[in-house]
Chain A
Amino acid sequence: AQSVAQPEDQVNVAEGNPLTVKCTYSVSGNPYLFWYVQYPNRGLQFLLKYITGDNLVKGSYGFEAEFNKSQTSFHLKKPSALVSDSALYFCAVRDRGANAGKSTFGDGTTLTVKP
Chain B
Amino acid sequence: NAGVTQTPKFQVLKTGQSMTLQCAQDMNHEYMSWYRQDPGMGLRLIHYSVGAGITDQGEVPNGYNVSRSTTEDFPLRLLSAAPSQTSVYFCASSPRLPQETQYFGPGTRLLVL
**A interface residues, Cβ below 8 angstroms from B:** 6, 9, 32, 34, 36, 41-46, 49, 51, 90, 92, 94-96, 100-108
Contact = CB atoms under 8 A, between A and B. Distances in A.
Nearest to B103: A46
Contacts of B40: 9, 107
Interface string B12-56: 000000000000000000010101000011111100111000001
Of all A-B residue pairs in the complex, the 3 with the closest CB atoms, nearest first, are A43-B104, A100-B98, A107-B42
30 contacts: A9-B40, A32-B98, A42-B106, A43-B4, A43-B90, A43-B104, A43-B105, A43-B106, A44-B102, A49-B101, A90-B42, A90-B43, A92-B102, A95-B98, A96-B99, A100-B50, A100-B98, A101-B31, A101-B49, A102-B45, A102-B48, A102-B56, A102-B58, A103-B33, A105-B35, A105-B42, A107-B41, A107-B42, A108-B42, A108-B43
A63 B5 CA distance: 27
Contacts, number: 67
A108 B99 CA distance: 21
Interface in B53-99: 56, 58-59, 90, 92, 97-99
B33 to A, nearest CB: 7
A16 B89 CA distance: 35
Interface of B: 4, 31, 33, 35, 40-45, 48-50, 56, 58-59, 90, 92, 97-99, 101-107
Given A105-B35, A105-B43, 7 more contacts: A9-B40, A32-B99, A43-B104, A43-B105, A96-B99, A102-B48, A104-B59
A92 B99 CA distance: 12
B99 A51 contact: yes
Given A9-B40, A90-B42, A107-B42, A101 B105 contact: no
